[in-house]
């Protein structure tokens, strides 16, 4: 396990970066401007490359307060509100194909999309299609072969839960999906900007996230205003890019990630303690997804960005990472 000790430093905000959570009525500027280290996190080529039988690596995250949501984002990201998150541990990376394979081989589990019903990107890169015989074993990426270090995709919410239950039974420790509050707290990495890397100078999306860029633009019929190119048009092996300040990889981009919460189209009356939103009156027919994916440009790669889908649906741009209560 990795426990990252944060030290106080100046907030270093790159030119043009805008705070996603500025002063709010009754707010305290010192609370909103959380401090970050000025040292640029380094990518570790060995991260999440251990024996998949040992399970995913976890990072211990100290609890604390943060402001969830965005004043400038979508309506479902409002109102911005203060939440207290308890200490927890989060997967350093998204669960990989190799790790999910160990679970399936050990249990004989039949995944939701084993029948080939996963929705996969078409050749033009414009939409996701049914009926292309895609599954977590072969997500039908155009011209790209899946490898064990890639995040497992074409997994449903139910598949992700089944994996955490198996890991819990195997280890005797209570694994689960992260709550939406835990996810955003970890993704922000103590920052208040829309994307955690915007506190650093002279970096780009391609240093930190696998999203739509010039490579995507050249391969697919999609536009991108991101001028960099990272060599990947679909999902990349985990930990290919720099981590955030907590040492977490791919919190933005690569693949969408299931969270424990039921969907609600706003943050009206949220739990204040960071727990999953499961209360009566919430639409539990759909679950919250976070993080964006390789299909999205900057607008979709924001710490506050939310999405939703039905628990049984699968896409070759959706995966998950695990969490554990201390």
Quick: pLDDT tens for 44-65.
988 998 888 888 999 999 999 9
* 237, 242, 244, 246: CA torsion to nearest 10: 80
Average pLDDT over residues 192-197: 95
Distances (CA, A) of 121 to 4, 142, 214, 252, 306: 37, 8, 18, 19, 20
Q: Select 53-325's CATH number: 3.90.1580.10, 3.40.50.300, 3.90.650.10, 3.30.43.10.
A: 3.90.1580.10
SS (H, E, C) 72-117: CCCHHHCCCEEEEECCEEEECCCCEHHHHHHHHHHHCCCCCCCCCE
Burial of residue 125 (number of CB atoms within 10 Å: 0-12, 13-18, 19+)? middle
pLDDT tens for 160-175 read 999 999 999 999 999 9
Give the pLDDT score at 50. 81
Is residue 136 pLDDT above 90, yes or no?
Answer: yes
CA distance 103 to 164: 10
> Average of pLDDT values for 190-196?
94
Neighbours of 254 (CB within 10 A): 32
Main-chain dihedrals φ then ψ at residue 83, nearest 5 degrees: -130, 145
Indicate if the pLDDT at residue 19 is higher than 80: no
34 pLDDT more than 90: no
Mean pLDDT across 85-104 = 97
Mean pLDDT across 8-13:
31
The model's confidence at residue 15, banded by pLDDT at 50, 70 and 90, is very low
The residue ranges of every structural domain in the chain are: 53-325
The percent of residues above 70 in pLDDT, for the chain, comes to: 87
pLDDT tops 50 at residue 11: no
**pLDDT tens digits, 70-94:** 999 999 999 999 999 999 999 999 9
Query: How would residue 17 be classed by pLDDT, with cut points 50, 70 and 90?
Result: low
């Amino acid at each position: 396990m990795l426990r990252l000790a944060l030290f106080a430093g100046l907030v270093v905000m790159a030119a043009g970066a805008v705070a996603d959570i500025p002063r709010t009525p009754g707010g305290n500027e010192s609370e909103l401007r959380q401090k970050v280290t000025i040292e640029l996190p380094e990518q570790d080529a060995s991260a999440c490359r251990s024996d998949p039988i040992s399970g995913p690596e976890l990072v211990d995250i100290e609890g604390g307060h943060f402001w969830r949501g965005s004043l400038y984002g979508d309506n479902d990201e409002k109102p911005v509100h203060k939440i207290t998150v308890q200490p927890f541990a989060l997967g350093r990376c998204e669960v990989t194909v190799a790790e999910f394979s160990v679970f399936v081989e050990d249990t004989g589990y039949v995944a939701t999309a084993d029948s080939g019903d996963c929705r996969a990107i078409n050749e033009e890169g414009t939409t996701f299609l049914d009926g292309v015989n895609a599954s977590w074993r072969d997500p039908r990426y155009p011209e790209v072969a899946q490898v064990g270090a890639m995040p497992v995709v074409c997994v449903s919410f139910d598949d992700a839960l089944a994996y955490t239950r198996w890991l819990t039974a195997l280890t005797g420790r209570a694994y689960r999906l992260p709550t939406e509050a835990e996810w955003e707290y970890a993704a922000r990495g103590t920052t208040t900007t829309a994307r955690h890397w915007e506190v650093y100078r002279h970096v780009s999306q391609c240093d930190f996230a696998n999203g739509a860029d010039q490579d995507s633009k050249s391969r697919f019929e999609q536009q991108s205003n991101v001028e960099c190119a990272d060599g990947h048009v679909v999902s990349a092996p985990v930990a290919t890019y720099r981590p955030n300040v907590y040492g977490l990889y791919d919190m933005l981009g690569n693949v969408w990630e299931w969270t424990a919460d039921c969907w609600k189209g706003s943050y009206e009356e949220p739990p204040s303690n960071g727990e999953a939103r499961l209360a009566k009156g919430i639409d539990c027919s759909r679950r919250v997804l976070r993080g964006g994916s390789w299909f999205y440009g900057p607008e979709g790669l924001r710490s506050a960005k939310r999405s939703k889908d039905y628990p049984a649906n699968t896409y070759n741009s959706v995966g998950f990472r695990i969490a554990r209560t201390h």
